[in-house]
A and B are shown apart, each in its own frame.
Chain A
Amino acid sequence: MPTTWVFSEETNGTPSSLSLEMLTKARSFDGDVAAILVGTASEDVVATLGAHGASTVFHIDPGDALPGAPVAAALADLVEEHGPGLVLFGLAYTDRDVVGRLAARLGVPVLSNAVDIEVDDDGVRVVNEINGGMTLVESTFTDAATRLVVVRPKSFAAESGDGGTPDVVEVSLPGDGGATITGRHEESASGPKLEDASIIVAGGRGMGAAENFELLEDLASTLGGAVGATRAVVDSGWVPYSLQVGQTGKTVKPDVYIAAGISGAMQHLVGMKDSGTIIAVNKDEDAPIFGVADLGIVGDVHKVLPPLLEALEARD
């Protein structure tokens, strides 16, 4: 197996956790591993990529250009020069922008939504989930020399190995691709980030109204966790999109996931069903969420959660 490349976007001075998960997986394949780093490439970032298995870091700094188009153009040249056998991207915003445009430039297929990748002499097999995770589909490439795969977050656990400091290769951009970033805004959130939290308290339509999310915030902060939400809730504007868990939102895998007033639509389940322990509270005893819950409580969130918060606060 020739080289595997892993795409990594740097945000706020750290490489994406997804890229570290993918590097860890890539390390288990035969052959060298390289990272494609989009960002500023501080010493720390390069060292982290190295520790997770990258022996080479291709560094691209797009500045204020929206990375998708120019990074794809630069990568297409790099791929043609080096001929990696497999290039992994994450199911994340910039990754998707780059891989889509790269595939179109190279004229090669993309297998997306991978939850597992098997590499052997017969080639590369990619496993993905459909139907809200109820069905696994295994696919393979028929003739691609460079195989592009998009991996779902949390499919692999990130572990650093004994890799040393990688070589850094500076890659210049052929242009800005026509789209420019003119402002960046972080939405403030206290506590751990949703995708990193070990405890998540998530709410659905069954919470009834935006103001009832305060109760979930209190529960989350008491437990040291983060608040999540369903698509219906973010579409209604009750909480920001960045809190959405599910197919079109974030994939999470906390130790404990508390689903409050969430029915468990397939689009939501796919984003949280691999959580360690799932606790669900819902009025509807037939809600699909109970099918994946370790503890299901048929009841009104407004009657179950307030005494839960009191009981937890009383312990401190």
Chain B
Amino acid sequence: MKIAVCVKQIPDPAAPYELDPDTHFVQRPADQVLDDTDRYGVELGLQLAEATDGSVVLVSMSPAGSLQGIRQALAMGADKAVVVDDEALAGSGALVTARVLAAAIAAEGDVDLVIAGTESTDGYTGVVPQMLAELLDMPSLTFARKVEVADGTVTIERQTTGGYAVVESGLPALVSVTAGVVEPRYPTFKGIMQAKSKPIDQPSAADLGFEAGDVGIEGSGQRITDVRPAPEREAGEKIVDEGEAHLEIVKLLETKKVI
């Protein structure tokens, strides 16, 4: 089975990111990490590929930087990566992102399964996987907490508000996976060494057939008009427990009339 997994390099979430004061874009350091939620999709792709003697290609649209995050995913075992890195893409909205990913996946030939996370951890819209499926003309089996592929059918347990639903479709299809769908492996030393020599294609937007006006701010049809700090919630009282602190909670609950 030929599998494409969408991944994203993001600024380390441990450090709050900054917006460029002029463009309002997220300022991306050269050393970005693999979005933690993507490890689940990579792992699922690897398991399915291993079971079918298939292959996994990583597909990403992001400033390449040092490619540290992409290499993290290659070190887990993916075969190759396609990173669309182009200054013309800066400021692209969700739909342009999906179009670029769709073009990069289409360029890989016939893909049986596309795997994505449900949303990225940095500036996210939460709708790119569904857009991508529509553009690739595939069913989208979304918010999967369990995925099985057998006899040309993909079956998932789809997260719902109060539980889950079992959903199935034929292939090719796109699945978006929640964290925890599988237990991601840690890269081995061998995997890390091999990742250094695995192929990473870096096509430009033009290579994939996009013209300047199709992508970036101009092609996205949306514009940031203002960035401001949110009204801050004031921190209240902080006390150190010396055995009686629970009484403070009781007192506060009484004041708020919940007990």
Q: Do A and B come from one complex?
A: yes
Binding site for B on A (CB under 8 A): 11-12, 66, 68-69, 72, 91-93, 96-101, 103-105, 107-113, 125, 129-144, 150, 177-187, 189, 193, 195, 198-199, 223, 231, 234-235, 237, 241-242, 247-248, 255-256, 258, 266-267, 273, 276-277, 279, 281, 285, 290-300, 303-305, 307-308, 311-312, 315
B179 at the interface (CB under 8 A from A): yes
Binary A-proximity of B116-152 (CB < 8 A = 1, otherwise 0): 0011010111111111111100111111010000000
Known pairs A131-B16, A150-B125; list 11 more (Cβ under 8 Å). A66-B167, A100-B129, A130-B19, A135-B228, A136-B228, A138-B224, A150-B126, A181-B167, A241-B159, A298-B241, A305-B246
Tell me which residues across on chain B come within 8 A of A279, comparing CB atoms.
249, 252
Q: Which residue of A lies closest to B154 (CB)?
A: A179
B247 at the interface (CB under 8 A from A): yes
B206 at the interface (CB under 8 A from A): no
| Alpha-carbon distance A315/B259, docked complex (angstroms) | 9
| Alpha-carbon distance A269/B158, docked complex (angstroms) | 25
| Alpha-carbon distance A111/B95, docked complex (angstroms) | 10
| Alpha-carbon distance A112/B131, docked complex (angstroms) | 13
B245 at the interface (CB under 8 A from A): yes
Given contacts A112-B126, A131-B16, A193-B162, contact A291 B235 (CB under 8 A): yes
Is B126 in contact with A113, judged by CB distance below 8 angstroms?
yes
29 residue pairs A–B, Cβ–Cβ below 8 Å: A68-B142, A91-B126, A96-B142, A100-B133, A110-B94, A111-B125, A111-B222, A112-B125, A137-B224, A140-B225, A150-B127, A178-B139, A180-B168, A181-B165, A183-B165, A185-B164, A242-B163, A248-B37, A248-B179, A255-B258, A285-B238, A293-B235, A295-B237, A296-B237, A298-B241, A304-B246, A305-B246, A308-B250, A311-B247
Q: Which residue of A lies closest to B136 (CB)?
A: A104
Tell me which residues across on chain A come within 8 A of B133, comparing CB atoms.
69, 100-101
Q: Which of A109, A182, A281 contacts B220 (CB 8 A)?
A: A109
Tell me which residues across on chain B come within 8 A of A242, comparing CB atoms.
159, 161-163
The residue in B121, B140, B166, B228 that gathers the most chain A C-beta atoms within 10 A of its C-beta is: B140
| Alpha-carbon distance A248/B181, docked complex (angstroms) | 14
| Alpha-carbon distance A285/B238, docked complex (angstroms) | 9
Is B160 in contact with A138, judged by CB distance below 8 angstroms?
no
Q: Which residue of A lies closest to B227 (CB)?
A: A137
Is A294 in contact with B160, judged by CB distance below 8 angstroms?
no
Shortest beta-carbon contacts, A-B, top 5: A299-B241, A100-B130, A100-B127, A112-B125, A178-B139
Tell me which residues across on chain A come within 8 A of B164, comparing CB atoms.
185, 187
B211 at the interface (CB under 8 A from A): no
Main secondary structure of the interface of A (DSSP, over half): mixed
Instruction: For chain B, residues 200 to 245, give those with C-beta under 8 angstroms from any C-beta of chain A.
Output: 220-230, 232-233, 235-241, 243, 245
B13 at the interface (CB under 8 A from A): yes
Main secondary structure of the interface of B (DSSP, over half): mixed
Residues of B in contact (CB 8 Å), total 83
Tell me which residues across on chain B come within 8 A of A292, comparing CB atoms.
233, 235
| Alpha-carbon distance A307/B166, docked complex (angstroms) | 43
**What is the minimal beta-carbon distance from A169 to any residue of chain B, in angstroms?**
24
B93 at the interface (CB under 8 A from A): yes
Given contacts A135-B19, A297-B239, contact A184 B165 (CB under 8 A): yes
B256 at the interface (CB under 8 A from A): yes
Is B170 in contact with A178, judged by CB distance below 8 angstroms?
yes
Given contacts A11-B162, A179-B139, A304-B241, contact A112 B127 (CB under 8 A): yes
Q: Which of A93, A183, A199 contacts B159 (CB 8 A)?
A: A93
B253 at the interface (CB under 8 A from A): yes
Tell me which residues across on chain A come within 8 A of B237, comparing CB atoms.
294-296
Is B230 in contact with A104, judged by CB distance below 8 angstroms?
no
Q: Which of B128, B230, B241 contacts A134 (CB 8 A)?
A: B230
| Alpha-carbon distance A141/B158, docked complex (angstroms) | 32
| Alpha-carbon distance A199/B119, docked complex (angstroms) | 28
Is B221 in contact with A141, judged by CB distance below 8 angstroms?
yes
Tell me which residues across on chain A come within 8 A of B127, comparing CB atoms.
96, 99-100, 103, 110, 112, 150
| Alpha-carbon distance A186/B126, docked complex (angstroms) | 24
B169 at the interface (CB under 8 A from A): yes
**What is the minimal beta-carbon distance from B223 to any residue of chain A, in angstroms?**
5
Q: Which of B123, B167, B246, B252 contacts A179 (CB 8 A)?
A: B167
Is A199 in contact with B258, judged by CB distance below 8 angstroms?
yes
Tell me which residues across on chain B come within 8 A of A135, comparing CB atoms.
19, 227-230
